[in-house]
Chain A
Amino acid sequence: MSFQIPIGPQHPALKEPIGVRVTVDGEIIREADLRLGYNHRGVEKLAEQKTWTQNIYLMERICGICSHSHATCYVQGVEKLMEIEPPKRGLYIRILVSELERVHSHLLWLGVAGHEAGFDSFFMYVWRDREIVMDILETISGNRVHYAINAIGGVRRDLDELQIKHILDSLEVLRQRSTYYQKLGTTEPSFVARLAGVGYLSREDAIELCAVGPTLRASGVPMDVRKDDPYAVYDEVPFEVCTADSCDVLGRTVVRIKELLQSYNIIEFLLKNLPTGPISVRAPRRAKPNEVISRYEAPRGENIHYIKSNGSDKPERLKVRAPTLANYAATIKMLKNGFIADVPLIFAAIDPCICCAERSVAIVDARTAQERIVTMSSLRELSLKTAKHQTRKREAEWPL
């Protein structure tokens, strides 16, 4: 007998729905399969009908959380095609916004991780502090989410002394709070025990399956486009690539908290060393026939745009490889041999950012081939129930 609950796959915290089909043997997952395409809008095709400048705004709207990542990745590519060099101050502001975006995205993720682990007050606290970053972004760009700060050849808005002071003041608050959360997270045994050992991805698997971003770095591979292939002004900025060796969800949390603290340092450095001068140069309307690949380290990992121009004012082809796509193969590996109750946590841990629309999980019983579809929210309840009766992993340590 099989029963189905059709979508109603809404989930209060994580807004990116996705379909997973897992085959289970009792409580243990044997096989997992992803269902994609619910959010396919045809952005790449649409980009071919718009001009270079119009496309910045389209690229921004690929994803709301890493909107600046896509816009910057695209703009960098177009600048290479048009053979123009944005001024230093423009680049500094661009990188400033991208680091602020990393902060807001990681805080968002931290909250979601707390929610999935059943630590809802943590979620609320983190999201309260996330509003500070949103305020900073609003003072810089005028909008909370789609900043629209990029232009081909630089940025659109300049910073003044008052704004810089405001950012530095708020940064101090953020740094204090983040350190507090770091302490809170490390000393809260039930939180650590819930995350340790879940979603194991070994170093070899992570490399073989081409994982990117914090997922890869949590498996002990120090790979970061900002360090390996520095774009914009990252070669001038001192920062460290954060890694963890625990290869599980706990490691991914640690990597993100460390990156938060690194980002605060980068922002401070950028503001204190902001060069004077113009913020943008004039860009031509057309680009010579050529092709280019642009790489960018988004909060979720490496983002790649391939752009081909044919001499007109529109791109001939635009291909986007979002970091989440690169992490899907690794996610399936992580889900295998795990518990059904850990699915939300593992999924949240890659910070999925492709906006698909179905968040239901179809469970196929390996022994009876029974199939049932459950919603992510009921899965979360199951996860909380299972975790409650688990013996605490006393030996679990916070590998900071």
Chain B
Amino acid sequence: MLQKLTQWSRLKSPWILHLNTGACNACDIEVVAALTPRFDVERFGILLEGTPRHADVIICTGPATRQMKDRLIRVYEQTPDPKFVMAVGACAMSGCVYRGAYNIIGGIDQLIPVDVYVPGCPIRPDALIEGVVKLLDKIKKGTK
């Protein structure tokens, strides 16, 4: 019963943490655009949180710069279980145009496990919503 309730609340209110690991801002403003009236993800119960300790889903943008490496891992460790990671944008997936630069790791999945990838440079807000829906499906099916 309790488990059912937790599962239900987890699906109905995924709180997200937005973490910029060296992105060029494009994905970041699109993530914010997804929260504003045109797209309005809050109707799905998605709420942007300021701290990793309150979040269920970490939305990572950017190719992970060397400076951010430790901080990204630390934020991941601070997020309470069960936690899910979305790599948003082409940089977060593989490094995109910065691939080959000396100061980037090239992809979030080099550092932490990623559940959903959202491609695009930058992503469209609709793509982000689609990604969240896919993640929720995944949680529902219990594959994670």
Contacts and interface: CB of A to CB of B under 8 A. Distances in A.
B122 A145 contact: yes
Q: Looking at B20, B28, B74, B103, which has the most chain A CB atoms within 10 Å of its CB?
A: B20
SS of A interface (majority): loop
Contacts of A12: 18, 32, 35, 48, 50
Contacts of A61: 24, 26, 96-98, 121
A353 B25 contact: yes
Contacts of A124: 36-37
Given A10-B19, A64-B26, A38 B67 contact: yes
Contact of A65 (B19, B29, B51, B71): B29
A67 B65 CA distance: 20
B29 A58 contact: no
B134 interface: no
Contacts of B53: 8
B124 interface: yes
Interface string B21-55: 11111111111110111100000000011111100
A10 to B, nearest CB: 5
Q: Looking at B23, B26, B74, which has the most chain A CB atoms within 10 Å of its CB?
A: B26
Interface residues of B, number: 47
- Range, interface on chain A: 35 or more
B102 A8 contact: no
Contacts of B101: 41-43, 45-46
Contact of B65 (A15, A38, A45, A111): A38
Contacts of B48: 10, 12
A131 interface: yes
A127 interface: yes
A7 B63 CA distance: 18
Contact of A357 (B31, B71, B100): B71
Contacts of A357: 20-22, 62, 65, 67-68, 71
Contacts of B18: 10, 12, 15
A57 B24 CA distance: 12
Nearest to B104: A41
Given A6-B74, A124-B37, A357-B68, A39 B22 contact: yes
Contacts of A353: 25
Nearest to A135: B38
A16 interface: yes
Given A10-B20, A42-B101, A355-B22, 17 more contacts: A7-B71, A10-B51, A13-B32, A16-B20, A38-B68, A39-B20, A40-B67, A41-B101, A46-B101, A124-B36, A145-B30, A146-B26, A355-B23, A355-B24, A375-B50, A376-B50, A378-B50
Interface of A: 6-8, 10-13, 15-17, 37-43, 45-46, 49, 57-58, 61-65, 67, 108, 111, 123-125, 127-128, 130-131, 134, 144-146, 353, 355, 357-358, 375-378
